[in-house]
Structure 1
């Protein structure tokens, strides 16, 4: 897997992305069950509310070799500030619409501290294309 991660610009002052890197390296969280190596191609932010640069940045990650784009948990789960992005769902819809179909999209990287550890990240599905 060649991974690009998109994070929330608002959380950059609170989180350096260490947990995202840790779970990818150790195949935990959304990466549990991944076969083969995981190479992080890039780690960038969404461009600020309302995620206006997420598609451009995802395309850049794909151009640099990413076959999977993950939204960092700060976007979908609200870690570490406890507030999920109100634009997260829309950003995912735009990525699904604007990226090649062979690019996998993960909803998050790791569970929030208070969540059980038995969840896995969802991959792009036919239902998400509607």
Structure 2
């Protein structure tokens, strides 16, 4: 798996992504069923509310070789700030439309 992660820009002050990286290393959470290696190609933010830059950033991740894009758990689950993104569903929909069906989308990481 060649992975790109999109995270919530609002959580950057609270979370350096360590739980995302741990889930990748341990193949837990969204990565529990992954066979073979996981190569983290990129780690970026949505660009801030309402996440309109996520599609452009996803396109760039694909240009750099990812075959899977995971939305960090801060977006869908609201971890660690306790507030899920109110734009999560629309953002994921726009990203999927941008990158097409050949790119797998994961709605969380850990």
TM-score, length-scaled by structure 2:
0.98
Q: Once superposed, which parts of structure 1, at least 4 consecutive aligned residues long, lie more than 6 Å away?
A: none
Q: CA deviation at 1:100?
A: 2.4
Structure number with higher relative contact order (C-alpha < 8 Å, ≥ 6 residues apart): 2
Determine if the alignment matches structure 1 residue 85 to structure 2 residue 88. Answer: no
Question: Which residue does 2:96 correspond to in 1?
Answer: 96
CA distance in 2, matches of 1:29, 1:109: 6
Aligned Cα RMSD in Å?
0.6
The count of residues paired between Structure 1 and Structure 2 equals: 110
**Alignment deviations for residues 33-91 of structure 1 (CA, whole Å, 9 cap, x no partner):** 10100000000000000001000000111111100000000000000000000000000
TM-score, length-scaled by structure 1:
0.83
Question: Which residue does 1:121 correspond to in 2?
Answer: none
Unaligned runs of 5+ in 1: 111-130
Larger of the two Rg values belongs to structure: 1
**Whose helix proportion is higher, 1 or 2?**
2
Secondary structure of the equivalent of 1:105? strand
Unaligned runs of 5+ in 2: none
Equivalent runs, 1:28-67 vs 2, <5 Å:
28-67=28-67
